[in-house]
A and B are shown apart, each in its own frame.
Chain A
Amino acid sequence: MSDDNNDISQMSFEQAMAELEQVVSRLESGDVALEESITLYERGAALREHCAGKLKQAEEKIAKITLDGSGAPTGTQPMEPQ
């Protein structure tokens, strides 16, 4: 199962959520074979986990780019939003 779901880790949040929605509506439609419905549910769970993970990565980090005399970026310095 984990092999089949390797691709999920590469998905963007949006892709993963779109597929999760698809999975849920297919499951709800009830015309999926039992075997497949379990596979589908497992994939849905993996997608959900991936999405939740992406949402948990909500870290705030604000930095200001420092520039040299010619206007080229040299690095960053932390910046606090007031």
Chain B
Amino acid sequence: MDLLEDDGPAGGGNNTPEFSVAELSGAVKRTLEATFGRVRVRGEIGRVMHARSGHLYYTLKDDRNALDCTTWKGQVRGLGVLPEEGLEVIVTGKLSGYGPQSKYNMNVDSMEVAGEGALMAMLEKRRKALAAEGLFDAERKQTLPFLPEVIGVVTSPQGAVIRDILHRLRDRFPRKVLVWPVPVQGPDCAPKVAAAIHGFNAFTQGGALPRPDLLIVARGGGSVEDLWGFNEEAVVRAAAESAIPLISAVGHETDTTLIDHASDRRAPTPTAAAEMAVPVRADLLAHIETLGARASRALGAAQNQRGQRLRDLSRGLPRAESLLDIPAQRLDALDRRLPAALSARVARDQVRLGQAAGALRPSALERATQGQAEQLRTRSERAQRAAGRLVRLAATQFQQLSARLSPTPLDRQVQMQRQALDQVAGRLETVQRQHLRDATARLAALGRMVDTLSYTATLARGFAVVRGADGILTSASAARAAGTFEIEFAGRETVPAQSLSAAPRPRARPKRSEPDRDDGQGSLL
């Protein structure tokens, strides 16, 4: 049917206008926006999603329903309170539709915590979380400088707060003050205060801007909401991290914000912060002067005291001469005693000498001699007795030995030796006679042999011996050379002779082949 009706545009009975999806979505969106306009909605925040684009998506819910909410990136800063899950809030914004997903949602541009109770609950939760991190630990607290040179103040440049601080500083101790202007409420408050604390810490010593020795973060009193920026995590963390000692002075005495927990000192008011920051110059000057005066007085007193003591002591000091009096007196006394002591000593020694000399007499020596003579006598008697004994013993031994001594054996031996000698002498005589006979016989034989062998016997057989002046001549040439000689014949008779062939000998020599033998023969004949 529907199809047919659609096909037939002129189909009657149905006047319902026809929309496209886009038309209807647009119409719904317009209706939502027009009907509700800006609305305030109270609820508890459910899931929160921080998109990377910077937009925030979250839901607002009660026990049965949920409302999708968006806050665009550009709106986040103006939101006031950032959505946190479980936080009871009242949001303000406008309702709209989202065609692509057939959804409606609320674009929220403002958010506040729903009631003090909820706000306090959230604050307590945050405080516990930060305390758990140790940001509020007592060990983190730094001591404030006694007299800072430069004080950095983070606050609004207008209003009573900075005025009070500067006045009080001027009263006590005028110092260099650098004011870092920040908004002290509203959405910009927390990020700017945090940036200011970081900014002061970033100053370097000796840089273009002097680095403060002390920071004061201050704000006047206000509602919980007004002071809310000083409860923000960024501010609390910046205060805790500050290397420069930091005094917080936010709100009135009864107001406590989280920065007070993180700061090094909490001042109940801005004026009190200035009082903590510097000492009173006039008091110090007076104190210094007092100290100076006390030092001078003490030194003067010390000197006076010592001077007095010196005078007292000098009075007590004895005169130099008087120091010698007693020793001199002692010397005199000793001097007097010295000769007496010497003579006393001599006398004492004389007495001792006399005693010793008295004991020294000849009888004493005699006594000693007699004793020794007695001893000598005793000993010589003993020696004589001993000697007699020795002699008798030796005589006995001698007698025994001489009894054993007899000549008989000696005689016997002599007898035997004599017989042996007689025998040997007998034999010697016999042998001697025989030797004599033998020698006589051999002498006769040898005599005969000599006679036989003698040249005289030869002479007897007609031979002769020729002798020159120099002996026997055995050759003709020798005879010729000798000239004169003698000839021996048997019976020892000699005849002188002369060689005749001495003259013709040179003539015969060339004619004969054997002149020597011929000459010899010839002369001899």
Contact = CB atoms under 8 A, between A and B. Distances in A.
Contact of A61 (B176, B292, B298): B176
Contacts of B176: 59-63
Contacts, number: 116
Contacts of A9: none
Interface string A13-32: 11001001101100110101
A5 interface: no
Interface stretch (B59-67, B95-103, B165-173, B438-446): B165-173
A61 to B, nearest CB: 5
B391 interface: no
Interface string A30-71: 101010011001001100100110110011111111010001
Contacts of B303: 34, 37
A33 B208 CA distance: 50
B302 A60 contact: no
B21 interface: no
B180 A24 contact: no
Contacts of A60: 169-170, 174-177
Contact of B209 (A14, A34, A37, A76): A76
**What class of interface size applies to chain B in its complex with A?**
35 or more
A44 B170 CA distance: 29
A1 interface: no
B299 A38 contact: yes
B305 A12 contact: no
B179 A44 contact: no
A81 B146 contact: no
B302 A82 contact: no
Contact of B166 (A32, A62, A71): A62
A27 B302 contact: yes
A51 B302 contact: no
B47 interface: no
Contacts of B146: 12-14
A57 B461 CA distance: 190
A44 B199 contact: no
Contacts of B302: 27, 30, 32, 34, 37
A75 B210 CA distance: 11
B219 interface: no
B91 to A, nearest CB: 28
A82 B169 CA distance: 13
A27 B298 contact: yes
Interface in B83-133: none
A3 to B, nearest CB: 21
- 8 closest A-B pairs by CB: A14-B146, A60-B174, A81-B166, A27-B298, A44-B295, A28-B298, A41-B299, A13-B147
Given A17-B288, A62-B176, A79-B179, 14 more contacts: A17-B291, A21-B291, A28-B294, A30-B301, A30-B305, A48-B291, A58-B174, A58-B175, A59-B176, A63-B179, A64-B178, A64-B181, A67-B181, A76-B178
Interface of A: 12-14, 17, 20-21, 23-24, 27-28, 30, 32, 34, 37-38, 41, 44-45, 48, 51-52, 54-55, 58-65, 67, 71-73, 75-76, 79, 81-82
